[in-house]
Amino acid sequence: MKKIFYVICLVLLTVSCNKPKEVALEFEKDPDSRIADTLSYVRKMLVESPYGWKGSLVTEYAGAYGFYMQFGKNDRVKMVADLDEETASKEKESTYRIRQIMTSTLSFDTYTYLTMLEDPNPATYNGQPGKGMGSDIEFNYIKNHGDTLFFEGRKFQKSMILVKATASESQQYLSNGFGKSRSQLLNYTDANPNLYIQIPSLESKISVSFSDESRTASLTYISGKEIVSKIGKYNFDLGGLNFAEPVVLGDLTIVKAKMQDGKFMLLDSSNKPYEIMSNAVPVLPITAFFGYRDTYNSIQIDGATLPGGINSAFNDIWARQINTYNGWGVKMVSMTFRLVSSQKAKLEVWFFVNGYNYRVDVGYDYIMTDNIIKLSNEVQNDLGWIHSDIKSYFKNAEFKLDYVASSDPKVRGVGGLIKTNNPNSFFYGKLVKLSN
């Protein structure tokens, strides 16, 4: 019996190592060959697009940026970008690499326009020291859809989208296409102040502003008593802008902006246009922004010259003040009407004489109802440095606070105190916020 037991043991031993070696693969192939497939797919796609790729890249600390790239077989990539005039007009060649880091990754591994956004040196492209614009140089491949490849930055996880370009697009990008779109927008915003749009679902006009420095557009409107501001990140493409991070206004999503027949349009996701219009003064009521602790609390005349292109009865009074100063050899630095607290206001003057700046002021109590400001209880601390005509202009006066339009489109952000009994007479200057 015992012996049979031994024999069985031995027989068992001989077969003991015969274990099944096949692994059931969840996705048909093992991970290694799957990553190899992806890598060669991404490479093949990038290299074999005959007219290259157009794309956009979103950054963490600024807006979005547009690129046009051509990938070569020899690890080299050529690109133009919408960063500035040079990057738009001069092609830059550098290396790229597709390899597995955590997943299949496209990296721009020598210096090029795209890496300027990542550069921690502020001198390169005005990024934050040590942080740049919050961008990446290594991008994980996420997915493809039709002619589009989707990547995501490894560190900041912002999206980079590359779309196959056509022959004519390629030719346009390489002949300063980005530069043309950019100067088109810059020229337009220079010539047209106080942009706004209107959409059916909102009662308020929506003020629109573009920042070339941060590549963001802000759309601001009033909802009830609240000021709502929506920020979108845009990059340039051929003939316009593309919102790589769109702006959502209620039920519509703004995705593009374009010049069409001399009009500047925002386009929503269903390609419906909203014409951008220009107004002489900002479209949102000044009362929403002006108060002793609001966006603006002061109206300031900077230097001896009033903002240009505006006619007011105050111009003569101001000229008298400046003439007096000129006679004394004194330089006007600034005159400011400011709200100091919920009840106190000040007319403050800085002037420069004998190498020093001095300050004097006249104090008032004020009551503000809607946009009417009533001054009372004048307290003169000006030692005669403010012209008596100006003092009497303000003494116990009643003003309507409003924006002031100028005939010069470059003069913007001017606010005024308009005499309620004479609409042609107003004190005016730049709207500013001074710390109290």
Partner 1 sequence: MKIIFKLFTGIGLIGLIFSCSKEDKLNYTLQNYDTFVPGTIDNWISANLTDPFNIEVIYRYQRNMHDINKNIAPADESKVIPQMKIVLKGFLEVYGKIGGSKFIKLYTPKQFALFGSGDYDPDGSVKGGTADGGRRITLYGLNGLNDNDASSVIGNLQVIHHEFTHILNQNRFIPGEFGLVCVGDYYAEWTAAENTEAKARSLGFISPYARKSIGEDFAETLSHLVVRGQKFYDDYALQSGETAYKKFKEKESIVRDYMIKYFNIDVTQLQNEFQRVMVEEYHSTDYTSVMISSGKYDPFCTDFYTEYTLSMNRYTRLNSYLFGQLTQKITV
Q: Which residues bind partner 1 (CB under 8 A)?
A: 3, 6-7, 10-11, 13-18, 21, 32, 35-36, 39-40, 43, 73-76, 94-95, 97-101, 107-111, 115-116, 118-121, 124, 129-132, 137-138, 154-155
Nearer Cβ to partner 1 (101/280): 101
Helix, strand, coil percentages (3-state) for the chain, rounded to 5, are: 20, 40, 35
Nearer Cβ to partner 1 (112/406): 112
Nearer Cβ to partner 1 (95/278): 95
Nearer Cβ to partner 1 (17/383): 17
Nearest distance in Å: CB 318, partner 1: 45
- Per DSSP, the residues of 284-339 read S-GGGTBSTTSSB-EEEEETTSPPSS---THHHHHHHHHHHHHHHT-EEEEEEEEE
Nearer Cβ to partner 1 (117/286): 117
Nearest distance in Å: CB 134, partner 1: 8
Instruction: Name the nearest CA neighbour of 87 among 189, 198, 215, 176.
Output: 176
Nearest distance in Å: CB 40, partner 1: 8
Q: Is 43 helix (H, G, I), strand (E, B) or coil?
A: helix
Nearest distance in Å: CB 319, partner 1: 49
Q: Please, what's the b/e burial string for 209-229 (b: 16 or more CB within 10 A of its CB; e: otherwise)? A: ebeeebbbbbbbbbeeeebee
- Per DSSP, the residues of 89-150 read HS-EEEE-EEEESSSEEEE--S--HHHHTT---HHHHS-BTTTBTS--SEEEEEEEETTEEE
Nearest distance in Å: CB 77, partner 1: 12
Nearer Cβ to partner 1 (119/402): 119
Nearest distance in Å: CB 352, partner 1: 32
Amino acid found at 22: E
Nearer Cβ to partner 1 (118/361): 118
For residues 198 and 416, give the distance between their C-alpha atoms in angstroms, rounded to a whole number.
26
Token reading at 426: 């107003």
Q: Please, what's the b/e burial string for 4-19 (b: 16 or more CB within 10 A of its CB; e: otherwise)? A: eeeeeeeeeeeeeeee
Length of the chain, please?
436
Instruction: Name the nearest CA neighbour of 428 among 328, 313, 267, 268.
Output: 313
Nearest distance in Å: CB 164, partner 1: 22
For residues 353 and 168, give the distance between their C-alpha atoms in angstroms, rounded to a whole number.
64
Nearer Cβ to partner 1 (137/247): 137
Q: Kindly report each contact of residues 17-22 with a partner whose C-beta sits within 8 Å and lies 24 or more positions away, as own/partner.
A: none
User: In the chain, how long is the greatest CA-to-CA distance?
Assistant: 132
Token reading at 325: 């100063």
What letter does residue 56 receive in the DSSP assignment? E
Nearest distance in Å: CB 93, partner 1: 8
Nearest distance in Å: CB 135, partner 1: 8
Nearer Cβ to partner 1 (209/214): 214
Nearest distance in Å: CB 84, partner 1: 16
Nearer Cβ to partner 1 (122/250): 122
Helix axes 167-174, 177-191, angle to 10 degrees: 70
Nearest distance in Å: CB 109, partner 1: 4
52 with 174: CB under 8 angstroms? no
Nearer Cβ to partner 1 (102/383): 102
